[in-house]
Amino acid sequence: MISSDIIRGHIDTIILKLLLERDMYGYELAGEIKTRTANKFDIREATLYSVVQRLEARELISSYTGEKSHGGQRRYYRITPLGKAYFRETIAEWKVLQDIMRAIMGDDIR
């Protein structure tokens, strides 16, 4: 598992990346994160919904109600054009951070 403090600054980027691929509902987002990280990062439900509310308030994502399923109607999230632009900015920053870490730590950290 990874410390939530380390990944906290990248949660928005992670959510936006997943929503670039397809619209998803909350539980699906959480499951996708857990699967893609081989269970190394398990986002808490409260954290996830706090993030999507913040992203929606900033108009980086929007939501809509999907079809009714076994547990009721699901709220799906999709990335907006503003969210796509913001995602590109965060990826550029992340690449700079990688360069900084490599410059300080070197490429051969084990």
**Domain residues of the chain, as ranges?**
4-105
Q: What is the pTM of this model?
A: 0.86
**Average pLDDT score over residue span 34-51:** 92
d(CA 74, CA 71) in angstroms, rounded, equals 8
Indicate whether 71 pLDDT > 80: no
Q: What is the mean pLDDT of residues 2-29?
A: 89
Model confidence pLDDT, tens digit, residues 77-93:
999 999 999 999 999 99
Q: Tally Cβ neighbours within 10 Å of residue 2.
A: 10
The Cα 21–Cα 61 span in angstroms is 13
CATH 1.10.10.10 fits 4-105, yes or no: yes
Check residue 109 and give its pLDDT.
64
Residue 110, pLDDT score: 59
